[in-house]
Structure 1
Amino acid sequence: MGNVGLLLVGVVLFVNGLASLGIVSGRSAAPLNLFVGTAQVVLPTLVLLQAEGDAAIINATWPSFLFGFTYLWFGLINLAGFEPQGFGWFSLFVAGIAAYQAVISAPGDPVFAVIWLTWAIMWTLFFVLLALGVQRVGRLDLGRATGWFLVLLGVPTCTVSAIFLLNGTWTTAPEAGLLALAGLAGAAVLSTLLALPRAGTRGEAGSSNAVPAEAVLAVD
């Protein structure tokens, strides 16, 4: 996806993470999603119209549509009240593509391979929450874990990466890939810990800490 679009995606993931945590409402997050989603669809279309069949340009551009449709769909769900199950199944498709991109990126760019893996995990969580309706895994509130995962990793994987790419300071060193993987693992652990019931709370599905599945829509 384009680096400028990637720059904006970080803030969308952050705000959508806050929405899934109940800090901001889905309706208040909708305009940002519609704006960035539209940009992620219109701008790649303009690029493809001028690509003249160049395979490198096409392969670098088409993934933007997956994420653009995600944000547009999220905005419409929150504004029009559409049921979220279809979005959940679409997320499974996006997760599969992201996982494939992670595999093929690993030899040449291990850092971006980890970023693709992060996005694959995010969209898998959306699928589990919204298509399968799984809200809790044992004591873990999956909606809150997803929210924290977006808050912790949205800006680093998107906005920070875009800044490095735009300034020509991106690295493909294996050591950087290992550091990125360690960051992903650390964020996953922290998200899990933050989503576990705190002392003095019931931690049940009916608790005031639970986040509705409809709020957990987001992402790259």
Structure 2
Amino acid sequence: MSNVGLLYVGAVLFINGLMLIGKVEPKSAGIFNLFVGALQVFTPLFLIITAEGDNWSIFQASGIFLFGFTYLYVGIANLMNADSSGIGYYSLWVSILAVGYSLVNFIHFQEFKFGVIWLFWSFLWALFYLLLAKKKEIAVFTGWVAIIQSWVTAAIPAFLSLIGYWQHVSFFAACTVFVSVIVLFLLIYITQHHSVKKMKLS
């Protein structure tokens, strides 16, 4: 993925996470989703056109469309107050595909860090499916996952890549960060689960 595009994936995930926890108004978030969605559709088109038939370059560019169409879908739905179930089921489809992109990063590119990052993205899209299509009461949890992932899976890797330091992040450092994030997700889920139970009992 274009490092510039990935940087703005971090921005839109941050805004969408704040929207889900009630800090940003949905229509306001929708406008920014359209900006980033347009960028994430133009970028892969340009990369594919200039790939000169290289299958792996085209494959890598194709993954960017998953993000672009997600953000365009969210942006238009928010601005039109449309039902969210379509976004939810699209997110399920993307979540499954993201596992495939993860495996290709692990096996073909031997890229551990982005292999794990694609798994994180798959998890986030799965949460969007549960929240938007199945109407599960996980908006706040999903929002915090999006906020954390906006930095760990997008903004920070993109920034480090832009300044030439991403390749110097060691396997141990990456594992430490990824495991810490998983533990943080579990703690947030447990906290939110208990909060929801208390609200239902009160």
Structure 1 residue corresponding to 2:179, chosen from 160, 179, 182: 182
Amino acid at match of 2:180: G
Q: Deviations over 1:92-143 (max 9, x none)?
A: 11101111222232351211122111101100001111112222xxxxxx11
1:212 maps to which residue? Answer: none
Once the two structures are TM-superposed, the CA of residue 83 in structure 1 deviates from its matched residue by 1.2
Shift of 1:173: 4.1
> How many residues are aligned here?
199
Structure 1, gaps ≥5 residues long: 136-141, 208-220
Q: State the secondary structure of the residue aligned to 1:62.
A: helix
Q: In the alignment, what sits opposite 2:56?
A: 56
Residue type at the aligned position of 2:119: L
Shift of 1:198: 4.5
1:47 corresponding residue in structure 2: 47
Equivalence for 1:32: 32
CA distance in 1, matches of 2:184, 2:100: 22
2:165 corresponds in structure 1 to 169
Q: Which residue number corresponds to residue 146 of structure 1?
A: 142
How much is the aligned-residue C-alpha RMSD, in angstroms? 2.1
User: Given the alignment, which residue of 146, 153, 158 partners 1:157?
Assistant: 153
Distance in 2, matches of 1:63 and 1:43, equals: 11
Query: Match for residue 133 of structure 1?
Result: 135
Q: Which residue of 1 aligns with 2:100?
A: 100
TM-score (norm: length of structure 2): 0.90
Inter-partner Cα distance in structure 1 for 2:55 and 2:173:
28
Task: Return 5+ residue gaps in structure 2 as ranges.
Answer: none
Q: Residues 148 and 194 of structure 1 are in contact (CA less than 8 Å); yes or no, is this contact kept in structure 2?
A: no
TM-score (norm 1): 0.83
Contact 2:87 2:132 (C-alpha < 8 Å) held by counterparts: yes
Aligned to 1:216: none
1:70-85 paired onto structure 2 within 5 Å? 70-85=70-85
Query: Do 2:21 and 2:144's aligned partners in 1 also have CA atoms closer than 8 Å?
Result: yes
Task: Among all aligned residue pairs of Structure 1 and Structure 2, give the percentage whose two residues are the same amino acid.
Answer: 36
Q: Deviations over 1:8-56 (max 9, x none)?
A: 1101101100100111111111111100000000121122112121112
Which residue in 2 is equivalent to 1:195?
A: 192
Moved more, 108-117 or 8-17: 108-117
> Conserved in 1, the CA contact under 8 Å of 2:85 and 2:132?
yes
Structure 2 CA distance for aligned equivalents of residues 187 and 96 of structure 1: 24
1:9 aligns with 2:9: yes
Change (3 A) 1:194 1:27: farther
Instruction: Write the letter of the residue equivalent to 1:113.
Output: G
**C-alpha distance in structure 2 between counterparts of 1:95 and 1:176, whole Å:** 26
Indicate the SS of the match to 1:53.
coil
- Residue 200 of structure 2 aligns to a residue whose secondary structure is coil
- Residue number in structure 1 paired with 2:124: 122
> Relative contact order: is structure 1 or structure 2 higher (C-alpha 8 Å, sep ≥ 6)?
1
- TM superposition shift of 1:89: 0.7
Bigger proportion of residues as helix: 2
